[in-house]
Amino acid sequence: MMPGMRPSRTSDHDARADLATAGGACHWFDQPSAFAELARVLRDGAVLIVYSDFYLGEVSGQPAFASWLRESYLPRYPSPIRRAQFDPDAASAASLTLQA
Residue 10 lies in a domain: no
Residue 55 lies in a domain: yes
What domain range includes position 21? 17-93
Nearest CA-CA partner of 19 in 50, 36, 44, 42 = 42
Residue 72 lies in a domain: yes
Residue 49 lies in a domain: yes
pLDDT > 80? residue 76: yes
Residue 47 lies in a domain: yes
Amino acid at residue number 27: H
pLDDT > 60? residue 6: no
Residue 56 lies in a domain: yes
pLDDT > 70? residue 5: no
Residue 22 lies in a domain: yes
Is pTM beyond 0.95? Reply is no
Number of domains into which the chain is organized: 1
Residue 3 lies in a domain: no
- Identify whether the C-beta of residue 46 lies closer than 8 Å to the C-beta of residue 98: no
Question: Confidence class of residue 1 from pLDDT cuts 50, 70 and 90?
Answer: very low
Burial of 86: CB neighbours in 10 Å, binned 0-12, 13-18, 19+: middle
For CA atoms 99, 44, 94, 40, give the dihedral sign. positive
d(CA 75, CA 97) in angstroms, rounded, equals 40
